[in-house]
Amino acid sequence: VPVIYSSSYDISFMGLEKLHPFDSSKWGRICKFLISEGTLDRNGLVEPNEASKDDLLVVHPERYLDSLKTSSNVSFIIEVPPVALLPNFIVQRRVLQPFRKQVGGTVLAGKLAKERGWAINIGGGFHHCSRNKGGGFCVYADISLCIQFAFIQLGISRVIIIDLDAHQGNGHEMDFAHDERVYVLDMYNSEIYPQDFAARQYIQQRVELLSGASTKEYLERLDKELE
């Protein structure tokens, strides 16, 4: 199974990233753990290219990409207010470039999955970002981009999104709200962010859990929903 990863996935900007509960260095730690456990071969990792502007324009309008040239807009999306005070060239290099690298990894995973049957991107999955709006530490809509790439370049006719993050994946849900080629199974905690009720109506298979659900309860429910 091809595993896509780059050491540049991790995001750090003078410690300010620690002001957000999201672990922006988790990708490197996950990779190191899997290698140390013998689950992953370091030599088998596939390095992705950074998503280009032309790639991003497949899903994002230019006005959205231009808005990221203002640091305050980026700080709002990643929910770290002090980032608004940083020069944008620093934000581009330390924040947005790692995000774009992960987006490239998601698209590459789609391509390799078509060729080999499976592929895993250790990063990506920015499910709170839609084509017009970022949020929840999700700047680019890599899921939507990968799916559009699959439709346009890979000859794929139908896609299922199985979103198992604790949070509702409101970004891709809005992007494919009226696209019958995309089926969404979203299993999430209904009591926490983003509570996007407008996006929920576009989930074909909605699985809502409450805080405190046990691992056993979670896995049993997931098995049932996947049948």
Query: Cα(first)–Cα(last) distance of the chain, in Å?
Result: 24
Domain ranges of the chain: 1-156, 158-227
Sheet of 182-189: strand order equals: 159-163, 182-189, 205-209
Cα–Cα dist 141/144, whole Å: 6
- The reported pLDDT for the residue numbered 72 is 98
Say what the pLDDT of residue 125 is: 98
Q: What is the pLDDT of residue 46?
A: 98
pLDDT attached to residue 23: 84
Residues forming the active site: 128
Q: Is the dihedral of CA 148, 149, 153, 158 positive or negative?
A: negative
Measured distance CA(166)–CA(193) in Å, rounded: 9
66: left (phi over 0), alpha (psi -120 to 50) or beta: alpha
141-159 pLDDT, tens digit each: 999 999 999 999 999 999 9
Cβ atoms of 109 and 27 closer than 8 Å: no
Q: What is the pLDDT along the chain (227 residues), one digit of tens a residue?
A: 899 999 999 988 777 667 767 788 899 999 999 999 999 999 989 999 999 999 999 999 999 999 999 999 999 999 999 999 999 999 999 999 999 999 999 999 999 999 999 999 999 999 999 999 999 999 999 999 999 999 999 999 999 999 999 999 999 999 999 999 999 999 999 999 999 999 999 999 999 999 999 999 999 999 999 99
pLDDT digits (tens, 9 = 90+) for 63-97: 999 999 999 999 999 999 999 999 999 999 999 99
pLDDT of residue 24: 85
pLDDT at position 13 is 74
| Angle, alpha carbons 15-16-22 (nearest 5°) | 100
Phi-psi region of 96 (alpha: psi -120 to 50; beta: other; left: phi over 0): alpha
Fold classified for 1-156: Arginase; Chain A (3.40.800)
Contact 124, 142 (CB under 8 A): yes
Closest to 59 (Cα-Cα) out of 101, 103, 94, 92 = 103
Global pTM reads 0.95
The CA radius of gyration of the chain, in Å to the nearest whole number, is 17
